[in-house]
Amino acid sequence: VLAGCGGGSAPAKSATIKVGANFEMTGGQATFGQSSVNAVKLLFKQINAAGGVNGKKLELVVADNKSEPAEAANAMTKLLTQDKVVAVVGPVTSSDVLAASPIAMDKKVPVVSNSATNPKVTVENGKVKDFVFRACFLDPFQGTVAANFAAKSLKAKTAAVYVDMSSDYAKGLAQFFEEAFTKAGGKIVAKEAYQQKDTDFRAALTKIKAANPEVIFNPGYYQEVGMFVKQARELGITVPLMGGDGWDSPKLAEIAGAKALENTFFVNHYAADSKDPDTIKFVEAYKKEYGQTPDALAALAWDAALMVVEGIKKAGPDDSVKIKDAIAQTKNLKGVTGTINLNANHDPVKSAVIIALKDGKMVFKETVNP
Ligand code: PHE
């Protein structure tokens, strides 16, 4: 039993509540993890400055999963067995969460991914994973939003799909896009595959070009997508290029170049120029702290960490199973990416936005509600 648990002015014996952050701090998805950790740090700083949770300070323990599923599992083991955190925020990507969450299930510690959108993250073979939660929408919705944008707004009748086969997220999202695009009356005229860390996309792009699609959908991550966009334009492909949330990185424009990015679009979770008062407050505080506009990862990580903090407030800081039960009850939690109501699958239902790239900058185009 911990002294000082009831709050009050006496310092608690176990001084802090340890929360883990399992994130892509280095490797091919590093900007995702870095923004996520920035946001959670800022939230904890604000909460601690206001006195902490039930009189105890929050302590964030960051473990780098290096953007690799096997390392995400290692990071989870370290956080749970060495650091003994009571809950974990992250990882970002679906493949990393899928690799790390069995360890959390086994150790009975809740994991809240800010951003993993593949359906299997929370439910596999019809079974809900009790200790796994997320703060974002899912890919069947994201794929439908992308396909409808291609078919209706861009008026594309044909599409090519170019897929990172090393990512559970990309494989799933490509499939949901294809289904929705076909349903909207479109036709998939080419399908090509690549792997993470590939750098030369020209052979596949040449084949895609020959099929003459009116739009190309690449639901990959910014590192490979940046080169894909650049090389597509170099090969004279001028049609709109589209993707999903994995495009959201300041590195995208650095890698592709502003010019190549004209006439490209992607689906995302939030727009930093939102009029919501909570979002405005968050964007201002983040800019002040880091000198950067927060991306969707940061906004979602803030909301995922809020889910954990609310769970700890309700369940107390010591029992991870009770914290899990409290997180599962998340209802009407007002975050910076929307209001979170978890359904029985531990998934929120949220709207998406379409982002266009103009002069290398991300510009909000429209909101799509579920
Ligand atoms: N949705 C991606 C995945 O599941 C992760 C991601 C979310 C990346 C948001 C960028 C922005 O793998």
Q: Write out pLDDT tens, residues 284-296.
A: 999 999 999 999 9
ipTM of the assembly?
0.98
- Distance CA(344)–CA(348), nearest Å, equals 9
pLDDT in the model for residue 14? 61
Q: Whose CA is nearest to atom 12 of ligand 1?
A: 93
CA of 117 to the centre of ligand 1 (A): 6
CA of 55 to the centre of ligand 1 (A): 34
Which residues surround ligand 1 with Cβ inside 6 Å? 32, 92-94, 115-118, 169, 245-246, 248, 296-297
pLDDT digits (tens, 9 = 90+) for 258-302: 999 999 999 999 988 888 899 999 999 999 999 999 999 999 999
**C-alpha closest to that of 99 among 137, 68, 129:** 68
From 93, 134, 141, 222, the mutation candidate for ligand 1 (largest count of ligand atoms within 8 A of CB) is 93
CA of 114 to the centre of ligand 1 (A): 9
**C-alpha closest to that of 19 among 282, 283, 347, 304:** 304
Gyration radius (Cα) of the chain, Å:
21
**Distant-in-sequence, close-in-space partners of 333: CB < 8 Å, separation ≥ 6:** 303, 306, 307, 310, 339, 340, 341
CA of 316 to the centre of ligand 1 (A): 30
CA of 167 to the centre of ligand 1 (A): 11
Work out whether strand 352-358 and strand 264-268 pair parallel, antiparallel, or are unpaired. antiparallel
pTM for the structure as a whole: 0.95
Structure tokens of 154?
Answer: 């861009």
Structure tokens of 137?
Answer: 């929408």
CA of 311 to the centre of ligand 1 (A): 24
From 115, 122, 247, 303, the mutation candidate for ligand 1 (largest count of ligand atoms within 8 A of CB) is 115
Q: Whose CA is nearest to atom 11 of ligand 1?
A: 245
- Kindly report the backbone phi and psi dihedral angles of residue 171, in degrees, each rounded to the nearest multiple of 5, phi listed first: -60, -45
Q: Whose CA is nearest to atom 8 of ligand 1?
A: 246
pLDDT in the model for residue 205? 98
CA of 63 to the centre of ligand 1 (A): 18
pLDDT means per 10 residues in the chain (370 residues)?
A: 46 77 98 98 98 96 98 98 98 98 98 98 98 98 98 98 98 98 98 98 98 98 98 98 97 98 97 90 98 97 98 97 98 96 97 96 93
pLDDT in the model for residue 273? 84
Q: Whose CA is nearest to atom 9 of ligand 1?
A: 245
- Distance CA(57)–CA(15), nearest Å, equals 7
